[in-house]
């Protein structure tokens, strides 16, 4: 057992110094301009089918993924592991890594063949030959994942320990019975402070590769005082990657994180972030033009934009493959906006580039804007003001790298607080904001306020199943009867369509029935039109 030896216990267990990163060393991983820890670019990926693995095997291989993503061999090789999931985006990202980035793909014979391969010293760099023991059904799996990131070990469930020993692995710790609070109390100085991973213990490989690679605290404790203490102790404008306890609404934990100056990156189902983050792209450009159309008199302009674009697990998963969204055959039949998380420019830049390259750019265009509320899901009115300005500066840098100019905001009763929006709109890169009241998104009915002579545009209406006035017939009628004056704020509409209850088909049903005087444009084009033409 680790006992109460704390960080000093690592040395007592004979763990070499190069596997005991200090917070300063961890910070160096992001000093190049990236806001998130990044893996080493893989030269080769051993591919395993996720569906063939047990929970225990998936935990083990995820921690092996993380260890490989943080080291390269003396010969310059950088092998990694990729868990394939047919039918959703992960198979596409894997093929793209091979086709566009020259990554060699090697089918794997199984978990234990990989353990054997990387346990041996040789051309693959330092051997990975130790493990931390945990028990399934406890939070000790999160403790083991976190300590794996510190010690360079793998996380092994107690039923796999005999096999682990047969394959030459050596136990360096037994954390059975230990929980997240014990881990933080004993090892917080050795874990990174700019990022934590919030993940339920019953999730197997999701995010464990990334937590291991990053040397981050992985925890899950519901909506407790301990959780507040975790986010309180993080650096200014830090990231909570994963998802909290939403049993009483997502605002419960997002509010606490916002109050403590932390942004949430919805990612609890995300896989393979360790190898995907290994690709580095200095800038990713959207394919379609950012130029708005010439303004016309006696027309009404409307832009359609999906909700939940901050959700990177969705963008990595079935958003790409489902005919509800990006695989819809009607995509490209009209101008459309998509929300996207700027964190992808660091976490999975090849994925962001793929989406940009496959957006419509012909007669009708698709353009991306930042999902709520900037660099992650947060409520700006609750964020400490100094940290919000830091967040906005960092956000502007990510937006410049990702060719983004407009951001969505979700908040509570803050629409008229123009001093709050100045934190964002002081940044040259940020051209405007689209404001969504937490409930309902369209509460302010298209009103516009100004900060730094840039617009903050509220949603005029929504497509959302089960809400009054948010059906296709009502939205169509509202747009057809709207003011036809491009010099007036009333001459423009943003329509938010709910990603979980509506599809591209529902948006097309509205577009197909719009009057001839209604012009559909992308959201960033609408922001430019407002900025150029609306009377202040």
Query: Which residues of the chain fall short of a pLDDT of 50?
Result: 1-31
Residues 304 and 259 in one domain: no
What residue numbers bound the domain in which 385 lies? Answer: 300-533
Residues contacting 430, CB < 8 A, separation 6+: 392, 395, 396, 399, 405, 406, 407, 424, 454
Q: Based on the domain organization, do 317 and 238 belong to the same domain? A: no
The domain spanning residue 429 has which CATH number? 3.20.20.490
295 belongs to a structural domain:
no
Based on the fold, state whether residues 233 and 350 are members of the same structural domain.
Answer: no
| Whether residue 259 is found in the same domain as residue 342 | no
Instruction: Pick the closest to residue 279 from 36, 451, 480 (CA basis).
Output: 36
Q: In Å, what is the CA distance from 254 to each residue of 167, 261, 507?
A: 43, 10, 29
Q: Indicate whether 402 and 509 sit together in one domain.
A: yes
SS (H, E, C) 169-230: CEEEEECCCCCHHHHHHHHHHHCCCCEEEECCCCCCCCCHHHHHHHCCEEECCCCCHHHHHH
**Final residue of a structural domain among 276, 311, 339:** 276
Query: Is there a single domain that holds both residue 255 and residue 115?
Result: yes
Q: Are 313 and 258 in the same domain?
A: no
Residues 197 and 121 both lie in one domain: yes
Q: How far is CA 34 from CA 223, 280, 328, 441, in A?
A: 30, 9, 33, 32
In terms of phi and psi (left: phi > 0; alpha: psi -120 to 50; beta: otherwise), the region of 125 is left
Count structural domains, the chain.
Answer: 2
Does 414 share its domain with 490? Answer: yes
Residue 481 in any domain: the answer is yes
> Cα 364 to chain center, whole Å?
28
The pTM of the whole model exceeds 0.85: yes
Tokens standing for 36? 């998130």
Let me know whether 338 and 458 are in one domain. yes
Q: Do the domain assignments include residue 519?
A: yes
Token pair of 536, please?
């202040």
Same-domain status, 59 and 165: yes
Residue 292 lies in a domain: no
């Amino acid at each position: 057992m680790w006992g109460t030896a704390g960080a000093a216990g690592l040395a007592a267990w004979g763990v070499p110094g190069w596997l005991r990163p200090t917070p300063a060393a961890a910070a160096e991983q992001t000093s190049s301009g990236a806001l998130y820890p990044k893996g080493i670019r893989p030269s080769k990926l051993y591919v395993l089918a996720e569906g063939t693995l047990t929970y225990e095997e998936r935990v083990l291989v995820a921690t092996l993924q993380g260890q490989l993503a943080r080291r390269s061999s003396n010969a310059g090789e950088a092998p990694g592991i990729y868990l394939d999931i047919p039918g959703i985006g992960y198979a596409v990202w894997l093929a793209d890594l091979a086709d566009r980035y020259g990554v060699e793909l090697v089918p794997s014979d199984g978990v234990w063949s990989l353990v054997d391969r990387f346990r041996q010293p040789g051309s693959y760099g330092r051997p990975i030959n130790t493990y931390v023991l945990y028990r399934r059904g406890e939070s000790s799996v999160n403790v083991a994942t976190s300590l794996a990131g510190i010690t360079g070990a793998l996380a092994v469930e107690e039923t796999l320990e005999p096999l682990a020993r047969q394959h030459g692995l050596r136990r360096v710790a037994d954390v059975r019975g230990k929980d997240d609070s014990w881990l933080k109390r004993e090892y917080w100085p050795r874990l990174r402070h700019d990022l934590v991973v919030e993940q339920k213990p019953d999730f197997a490989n999701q995010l464990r590769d990334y937590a291991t690679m990053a040397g981050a605290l992985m925890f899950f404790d519901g909506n407790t005082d301990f959780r507040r203490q975790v986010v309180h102790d993080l650096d200014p404008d830090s990231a909570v990657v994963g998802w909290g306890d939403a049993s009483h609404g997502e605002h419960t934990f997002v509010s606490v994180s916002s109050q403590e100056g932390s942004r949430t990156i919805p990612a609890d189902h995300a896989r393979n972030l360790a190898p995907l983050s290994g690709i580095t792209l200095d800038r990713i450009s959207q394919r379609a033009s950012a130029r708005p159309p010439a303004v016309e008199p006696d027309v009404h302009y409307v832009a359609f934009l999906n909700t939940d674009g901050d959700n990177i697990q969705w963008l990595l998963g079935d958003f790409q493959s489902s005919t509800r969204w990006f695989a819809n055959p009607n995509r490209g039949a009209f101008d459309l906006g998509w929300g996207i998380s700027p964190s992808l420019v660091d976490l999975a830049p090849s994925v962001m580039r793929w989406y940009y390259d496959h957006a419509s750019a012909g007669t009708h265009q698709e353009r991306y804007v930042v999902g709520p509320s900037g660099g992650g899901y947060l409520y700006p009115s609750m964020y400490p003001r100094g940290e919000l300005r830091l967040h906005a500066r960092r956000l502007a840098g990510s937006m410049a790298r990702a060719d983004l100019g407009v951001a969505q905001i979700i908040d509570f009763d803050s629409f008229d607080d123009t001093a709050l929006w100045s934190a964002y709109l002081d940044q040259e890169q940020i051209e405007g904001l689209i404001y969504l009241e937490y409930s309902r998104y369209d509460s302010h009915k298209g009103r516009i306020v100004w900060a730094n002579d840039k617009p903050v545009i509220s949603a005029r209406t929504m497509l959302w199943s089960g809400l009054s006035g948010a059906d296709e017939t009502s939205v169509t009628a509202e747009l057809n009867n709207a003011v036809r004056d491009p010099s007036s704020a009333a001459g423009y509409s943003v329509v938010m369509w709910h990603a979980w209850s509506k599809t591209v088909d529902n948006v097309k049903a509205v577009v197909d029935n719009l009057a001839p005087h209604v012009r559909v444009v992308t959201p960033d084009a609408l922001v430019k039109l407002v900025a150029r033409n609306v009377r202040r």
